[in-house]
Every structure is written in structure tokens, then in C-alpha cells.
Structure 1
Amino acid sequence: MNYLLLFLSVAFGYVIALFLKKRELRNMEVFLAFSGAFLLSITVFELLPHVFETPSKRIGVFIMIGILLQIFLEFFSKGAEHGHVHLHTESKKFPWLLFISLCIHAFMEGFPISEENNLLIGVIVHKVPVAIILSFFFITAGYKRIITLAFLFFFALMTPIGNYISNHYSFVHHYETEITSVVIGIFLHVSTTILFESSKNHKFNLTKMSAVIIGIIIAFLL
């Protein structure tokens, strides 16, 4: 069921994008702010305490590796993980760099998801607005439907595959803390970037601030 929900979150985003207009896309900033706050809160409330059950500076090193990995991936994805898509619409070739970087990000997301935490909800809440924005820009940029669907299909598969490997291959369990720490770093970078970008020009926005607070409260109560 977890695998199906993760896959359908991207499919759901594509369906929504089919009916969106450009002016309606601006409302996604509020949903993005909520998703960033929710993902950050799940990371802080559940993943961080788990990896620091036995405190070690080594864990901090792997968290920093995750942050650096995400920064590196964003050189190629141009920030699509947190709602920014910059494609060269003059060329309709398959955007391989964007695809590979997003797939690595999505693949890593799947590893810490388990019955012991609420990360499944956090990843789904994070994936839906990103899938909507990705799909919308592919559609409006005039990419062939087969390219858009192929991109989204394999992108949707990555997190379930990561989660499957985590659940069914014993060697992963030997490095569970290290892998989770790397993913924490990825989530910290992505979620804080979303929150930073949701307050452009450092102007106070009551709607976005409310969405952030609601996201934190819901994550705490889960």
C-alpha cells in the first residue's frame, strides 16, 4: 500500500496540473509552504531523535553529506525539488539532467519510510505540489505527452523502489543510521529552502505563515 500511495501522489499531481491555469499556480506557494513546514517538522520530531539515540559526531557528518548532496543535485535540477522548474523550452529533448537528479532525490526519500514513523505522509505531502508544478511546466512548455508521462512515471517509481530496497535487503539495515542521516540532510535543505522562498523579499504573509504553523502542529500531533 505504501508503494502505491507514493506512486499515486505523483499521478495525482499530474491530474491536477492538467486542469490548472497559470494564475492558479501562484496559490501553490501556500501549499508548498505547508509541505515544507510539515516535512521539516517530521524530520525534526521523528528522524532526528531516531538517529541521535546514540549521539555521535559521525551522524552530523552524514547529515552534512546529505545537505551537500542536495546542493549538488540542485545544480542539475535547478531547484525542482522545492517547486522551481527552469527548462529550455526551445528544445523539446528529454531533460536528462533534471530527470536523473530528481530520481536520485526521490530514490533517497524512500529509505527512511517505515511503519515506525510518519515520513510516508510527509513525503506524499512534499511530492504532490512538486509533481503539480513539474507537470504544469512540462505541459505548458509544449513537451510531447509521451515525454511528460515517461518522466513522471519513472520519477514516481523511484521512492517506492528506494523504500522496497530498504525493506527487503538486509545489507541496508547495517547502514540504516548513516543512510537516514544523509536523507535528513536532504530534507533539511529542501524544506528550509521552501520556507525561505515562501517569504520572498522577507515580507510577512499571514496566509503562508498560517500554513507553516498548521503544518508544524499537524506533524507534532501525528
Structure 2
Amino acid sequence: MIKSAIILFLSAFLGGILAINSVDVISKNIKHVLVFAGSFLFSVTIIHILPEIFEASHDHLKVGGFILLGFFFQQVLEYFTNGVEHGHMHHHHHGEGHTTLKSISLMVALSVHGFLEGTLLAHPESVHANHTEGTLLAGIVFHKVPAALALISVLACQYKSRSTQLILLTIFALASPAGVFAGHLLGDFGLLDNAGMVLLFAFVSGNFLHISTTIFLESSPGHSWSSRKLIISLVGATLAVLSEILF
């Protein structure tokens, strides 16, 4: 648990630090990173999360309903984040009051999303009896890094103060580790039974499906064909499958 929390924090924090001094370079080269991350995350959701939650519950209709709820809840979050959590960059300047309001709503929405995805790493045996968390952790990390890069690109436009950027980046980086600890506490103290944990995981998997599919749509403006995008997508999916088989 602690190891996973540390990895999640460092992936987001160091990804953001990398972008602070190279926002322009990152913004020009992030598309291919996003395609890889989206493909890996989508594949992990399909071959790891969804089979396990359907296997762990007899009420498949309810599980499917929570997946849909998670999918559309992510759409609501993106109203406030403008897609930062799947690497979408915006470079707009606003008045100070408007910037503060937008930043608060952005950080709250990103923290909610990060917290929820962290809960997936709480592993009750009834849900994850057949797998380790390595593949799932990798999928979240591959998603967190470009999200942190995109967040810094937004914050750099809104705030010139490096200290302010670092504070907000730290809040973002702490959200997923907090979700890891909260997920374990919910299970360990019986605040959420196994059936409830399954529904929670179904909800978060809906988030992941929305994020990963949106990455593919945004990476192909006008639905243009790109052999490079296809190859990167296949590499991401193949690595996800291999890591699931081997680990």
C-alpha cells in the first residue's frame, strides 16, 4: 500500500517538475505519450478491471450501471478540468478573479478524479484474488504522468509564481495516494463491504473508459489516419497484455 502510494505521488510530482522548465517542448511532443498511455489504460481496463468486477458480482446489471455512471461522471468532471486529466492542454489567460475560480474548480475536480483512481489499488481478495496490482498501477502511472505535464502547462499560463505551481502540483500528486489509503481503510474497517468495493471499482473503470477513449478521439482530428498512432497504440496494448500475463 505504502509503496503504491509513493509511486503514484512521484509519478505525478516528478512529471509536473519535468514540465515546469520545458512547457513548450512538452506540449509539442505529448501527443504520442498520450496515445501510448491511453492505449495501455484502455487495455488494462478491458482485460484486468472489468473481468474481475463482473466475476466478483452476480448482479451484472448493477455493475454495468455503475460503469455507465462512472463514464458520465467523468464527463461532468471534464466540464471543470477541460480535459487536463487526459493530457489536454489549454493556454488561456484570464483576469485574476476568474483565474482563481477556475483554478479552484480545476484542482477540486482533478483531486476527486485522482482520489477515485487511487481507490482501485485497494485490493480485497474477493475482487483481485487472481492478480497483483502491478499492471493496474502501471496503467494509472502512465495516465498520471501526461496529466501532470498538462496540468503544469495550464498552471504556467495562470500563475507565474513557481511556488504556487508547486503547491498546486503537490495537491494533485497527493490525491491518488490519499485514495489508496482511503480504499484500504474502507475495506479494513468494514465501512464498505465487498459488494460496495466492486461497485466503486466499476464506477472508476467507467472513468478510465471515458479518459482513454477521449484520448484516441482527440489524437485524431478529423478522424485522420495515422500509422504512427496505430503502432504506438498497439505497443501500449501489447505491453498491457504481456504485463498481465507475466505479472
The TM-score, its normalising length taken from structure 1, stands at 0.93
Partner of 1:49: 51
Q: Name the residue aligned to 1:81.
A: 85
Kindly report which structure 2 residues correspond to 1:21-170, keeping only aligned pairs within 5 A, or say none: 21-53=23-55, 54-55=57-58, 56-86=60-90, 88-92=92-96, 93-94=99-100, 95-113=103-121, 114=123, 116-117=132-133, 118-170=135-187
- Where structure 1 has 5 or more consecutive residues not aligned to the other structure, the ranges are none
For residues 87 and 209 of structure 1, the distance between their equivalents in structure 2, rounded to whole angstroms, comes to 28
Which protein is richer in helix relative to its size?
2
Gaps of 5+ in 2: 124-130
CA RMSD of aligned residues (A): 1.7
Using the size of structure 2 for normalisation, the TM-score is: 0.84
Count of residues in correspondence between the two structures: 222
Q: Partner residue of 1:18?
A: 20
Of residues 197-206 and 59-68 in structure 1, the stretch that sits farther from structure 2 once superposed is 197-206
The corresponding residue for 2:242 is: 221
Change (3 A) 1:89 1:122: same
Change (3 A) 1:164 1:173: farther
SS at 1:84 equivalent:
coil
CA-CA distance at 1:104 after TM superposition: 0.6
Query: Deviations for 1:10-33, whole angstroms, at most 9, x for unmatched residues?
Result: 121122213425255221100000
| 2: CA distance, partners of 1:177 / 1:143 | 43
1 CA distance for matches of 2:39 and 2:171? Answer: 27
Q: Deviations over 1:120-152 (max 9, x none)?
A: 110001010110121133224443222211211
Aligned-partner SS, 1:26: helix
Q: In structure 1, what is the Cα distance between the partners aligned to 2:138 and 2:147?
A: 15
Structure 1 position 61, deviation (Å): 0.5
